[in-house]
Amino acid sequence: MTDLLAEATADLYERDPEDFTARRAELSGQAREAGDAAVAKKISALRKPTRSAWVVNHLVRADPDVTGRLADLTGDLQQAASGGAARIRELTAARARLIDELTKQALKVAGLASPPAALREEVTATLDAAIADPEVAGRLGTLLRAERYAGFGLVADGPAPPPRAKPAAAKAAPKPDAAQDRARRRQEKIETAERALAQADHDLESALSVEHDTEAVVRKLEDQLAQARQQLAEARRQSYRAESRQRKAAAQLDRARQPG
């Protein structure tokens, strides 16, 4: 049996975001007509990606080898600590080269010859986050927005550094590390901003959906108005011709009534 949801998802996340809302409604309607209301509901729930997220989605769907290359480098980086400083430097350089190469490839595949600097930076940050964070890597192809790795170190699952020894004479409770406190506050701000962005994405999607529906109604009314104008023009022509015939008939009657 054809997987309607998988096909719809692939179709939508490969498609330009400008066409997402209209195409989603079309695919949802097709699923409903096919008798699968559950799938239709799931298709309707799919959210539109931002432009930069779509660029990355489009890349990994156009070139499946991309995810493998990112995963290979992630594995190498996770083992980098045992290879010493030279190995870490080597892989750090390889990471930068791969991200730069894939960013250029993504923009080319998306047909963006001169993208805004902000969009390019978001694509780069998202690809870099996919190396560092397995959760981001798992969302490649269906990303909703640009990603950015907020953790520390080479990769999220890399070897943990050895614990720092506590001073033997210290008996009082240790004071919070200032760097850790700053990192915690920064993470909280990021999470708050992400929630706000997610809500804004939802609001935008809802507004675009309403806009699309309203445009359809307006187009229908405009078509009806144009048709009514044509009907009015034709009715006026019919009325003019009937009035002309009526005048001619009245004139003929007057002449017929005149004596002799």
CB burial string 87-123: b at 16+ within 10 A, e below: eeeebeeebeebbeebbeebbebbeeeebeeebbebb
Provide the percentage of residues in the chain whose pLDDT is more than 90.
41
Task: Examine residue 15 and state whether it is found in any structural domain, yes or no.
Answer: yes
Report yes or no: 57 and 13 within 8 Å, Cβ to Cβ. Answer: yes
Task: Examine residue 143 and state whether it is found in any structural domain, yes or no.
Answer: no
Task: Examine residue 256 and state whether it is found in any structural domain, yes or no.
Answer: no
What is the reported pLDDT for 164? Answer: 40
Q: How many structural domains compose the chain?
A: 1
Task: Examine residue 151 and state whether it is found in any structural domain, yes or no.
Answer: no
What is the reported pLDDT for 181? Answer: 72
User: Residues 166-216: pLDDT tens digits?
Assistant: 444 444 444 456 777 777 677 667 767 756 665 665 566 566 556 656 766
- CA 141 from chain center: how many Å? 10
What is residue 141's DSSP assignment?
T
Residues 6+ apart with CB under 8 A from 16: 54
pLDDT band at 81 (very low <50, low <70, confident <90, very high): low
Least confidently predicted of 7-16, 157-166, 189-198:
157-166
What is the reported pLDDT for 15? Answer: 86
User: Residues 111-148: pLDDT tens digits?
Assistant: 998 889 999 999 999 999 999 899 999 999 999 999 98
What is the residue type of 60? Answer: V
Task: Examine residue 187 and state whether it is found in any structural domain, yes or no.
Answer: no
The domain in which residue 12 lies consists of 4-45
CA proximity to 51, closest of 146, 134, 126 = 146
What is the residue type of 194? Answer: E
Q: What is the token pair recorded at 54?
A: 């779509």
What is the reported pLDDT for 192? Answer: 72
In this predicted structure, the answer to whether residue 163 has a pLDDT above a threshold of 70 is: no
What is the reported pLDDT for 129? Answer: 93
- 235 burial via Cβ count (<10 Å: 0-12, 13-18, 19+): exposed
What is the reported pLDDT for 56? Answer: 96
How big, in percent rounded to 5, are the helix, strand and coil portions of the chain? 75, 0, 25
Task: Examine residue 216 and state whether it is found in any structural domain, yes or no.
Answer: no
Provide the percentage of residues in the chain whose pLDDT is more than 70.
76
1 SS3 class = coil
Residues shown for the chain: 260
Reported pTM:
0.57
Task: Examine residue 35 and state whether it is found in any structural domain, yes or no.
Answer: yes
Task: Examine residue 141 and state whether it is found in any structural domain, yes or no.
Answer: no
What is the residue type of 84? Answer: G
What is the reported pLDDT for 180? Answer: 72
How many angstroms separate the CA atoms of 256 and 206, rounded? 74
